[in-house]
Amino acid sequence: MSLRQASGLSDGFLTLGIETSCDDTATAVLKDDQVLTELLSSQIKDHAPFGGVVPEFAARKHLENILPLVDAALKEAGVAAKKLNLIAVTLGPGLMGSLMVGVETARALSQAWNVPLIGVNHLEGHMFAPLVDSDLKPPFLSLIVSGGHTEIIRVDDFGRYSMLGATRDDAAGEAYDKAAKVMGLSYPGGPEIDRLAKEGNPRAFDFPVPLKNTDRVEFSFSGLKTALLWQVDKLKKSGNVPLPDLCASFQRAVTDALIAKVVLAVKQTGIKDVAVSGGVAANSALRKALEDGRQWKPHLPRPSRCTDNAVMIAMAGRNAWRRGVRSPSALAPDPSLEFAS
Ligand code: KG4
Ligand code: ZN
């Protein structure tokens, strides 16, 4: 036991978070639950010309970015590497090449600095994003709406999660990205549609709200994209494609579909605290609809922490460590890592 520990003096528990599951390289340092630094190198501009993420290109970019971002985060936080208490890294789900860069880097640093390492499920990470600036404790409902996932999870305790329902086909973020492509907008589509929708009429087009009235927590967005495609084709023939109205109407349909199932999940479980995360949680219409809801209390991360970031990975890793979860030393990335069942 060190003198510092023996005397009861503590600098706080220092966690380095590393996230590389898709196209953002991110690092963060936490002292207990307080964020000391958060850094992110976005690859959006690199992938935009291809209309989506190119996996091999993403892995190469992570490799260029990761060590400088770890260094910069520690410097900015004023933390010496060997003082870290934990390194938390995203294990999956995600792109294999991207995950590998993060996990292998974290493993090497853990050995070199003699700091314990924990693997984090990317979705559990998202689940923790709304908890960073709040003291929300379980039980609560977690709506995760990202580029790859759309699901509502019941959180009875940290580490005790059950899936209430998920999307049958496309994720909400994927629907935004595909809709943007149909309308000739740039990647990623969500922020573009959000921006243009502000100038449009959400009732201009009557897009279907998928599965709105079923009594199951479930989503489907592929039919909505097809309805948009037909509408755009028809409008092109008429020579007038009112993008703001199309965006506002599409956004209304996605938002209504999400809110309908939040209402249902709250009703079915009696749990009123709803934590929302993932890239689509940055959407202004969804945020407003959640904040206007009377049957629940929304918990939303700041927009920059809705999309992928390392603060949420550090938070989730720190929480799992505290409840006794330990990762095997031969930590390996898993692109299709499951979360909740
Ligand atoms: O959580 P995230 O960064 O990555 C995944 O884990 O998938 O989410 C990215 C997704 C993209 O599909 C993007 O279009 C969407 O989140 N997104 C938005 C907004 N900002 C990002 N969708 C709607 N409105 C936004 N403001
Ligand atoms: Zn994500």
Q: How far apart are CA 29 and CA 85, in angstroms?
A: 11
Residue 220 has pLDDT above 80, yes or no: yes
Residue 281 has pLDDT above 90, yes or no: yes
Distance set, CA 153 to CA 138, 287, 292, 334 (Å): 12, 18, 21, 21
Mean pLDDT is lowest, of 153-157, 209-213, 307-311, 333-337, for: 209-213
Residue with tokens 């329902």: 165
pLDDT value at position 10?
Answer: 58
pLDDT digits (tens, 9 = 90+) for 25-67: 999 999 999 999 999 998 878 888 888 888 888 899 999 999 9
Q: How far apart are CA 84 and CA 149, in angstroms?
A: 32
Nearest CA residue ID for atom 16, ligand 1: 279
CA of 329 to the centre of ligand 1 (A): 33
pLDDT digits (tens, 9 = 90+) for 129-171: 999 999 899 999 999 999 999 999 999 999 999 999 999 999 9
The per-residue pLDDT of the chain, averaged, comes to: 94
Name the segment(s) of the chain with CATH classification 3.30.420.40. 3-128+307-322, 136-300
Ligand 1 neighbour 285 (Cβ under 6 A): no
Pick the CATH number of 136-300 from 3.40.1710.10, 3.30.310.10, 3.40.50.720, 3.30.420.40: 3.30.420.40
DSSP string, 180-228: HHHTTPPSSHHHHHHHHHTTS-TTSS----TTTT-SS--B--HHHHHHH
Q: How far apart are CA 257 and CA 251, in angstroms?
A: 10
Nearest CA residue ID for atom 22, ligand 1: 190
More confident residue, 8 or 25: 25
How many residues in total does the chain contain?
Answer: 341
Residue 200 has pLDDT above 80, yes or no: yes
Ligand 1 neighbour 98 (Cβ under 6 A): no
Ligand 1 neighbour 192 (Cβ under 6 A): no
Ligand 1 neighbour 92 (Cβ under 6 A): no
**Any idea which architecture 3-128+307-322 has in CATH?**
2-Layer Sandwich (3.30)
The model's pTM: 0.94
Tell which atom from ligand 1 comes closest to the C-alpha of 180: 14
Interval 249-276 mean pLDDT: 98
